[in-house]
Amino acid sequence: MEFHTPRRRRAAEPIVPMINVVFLLLIFFLMSARIAPPAPFDVILPESGADDRAAPADTLYMDAEGRLAFNDARGDAVLSALTARALPGTPLQIRADARLEARALARLLPELAARGIERVEIVTGAK
């Protein structure tokens, strides 16, 4: 009587450690990513010859019609929100549309100064 002993199969490579590494990398990249909120409306930046990059700061958006947006505030509530902003010493970036009349922006600047905003940076696009 002959008994055949089944040959042992070679153990397959374990895939669980690879899955663990992939999930750890996924969690790492999700936790370290900076998620910026989308702009409240489309703004075409005016062009500039300077290649300076402005430091991150609070951003005030102004569209071609002169509408204002700052964080969640829109319209007249923007000036109150700017007064109560978290970092009063940091510059305020203004992303104004290139089609906006300069007079509208010029009228806004004294109002910002009256609210205690000492430094304003106007963001432009590169040529």
Say what the pLDDT of residue 55 is: 44
| Burial 21-39, CB ≥16 within 10 A → b, else e | eeeeeeeeeeeeeeeeeee
62 in Cβ contact with 104 (< 8 Å):
yes
Write the pLDDT tens digit of every residue in 55-98: 455 888 998 888 999 888 888 888 888 888 756 667 888 899 88
Q: Could you tell me which of 114, 47, 121 has the C-alpha nearest to residue 83?
A: 114
User: Helix, strand, or coil here: 21?
Assistant: helix
78 in Cβ contact with 70 (< 8 Å):
yes
Half-sphere exposure of 117 (CA within 13 A, CB side): 26
Cα dist from 23 to 14, 19, 29, whole Å: 16, 6, 10
Q: Which residues on adjacent β-strands are paired with residue 63? A: none
Write the pLDDT tens digit of every residue in 22-67: 999 999 988 888 777 777 888 777 776 665 554 455 888 998 888 9
Residue showing tokens 């922006």: 105
Position 3 pLDDT exceeds 80: no
What is the residue extent of each domain of the chain?
47-126
The two structure tokens encoding residue 5 = 């002993």
Whole-number average pLDDT of the chain = 81
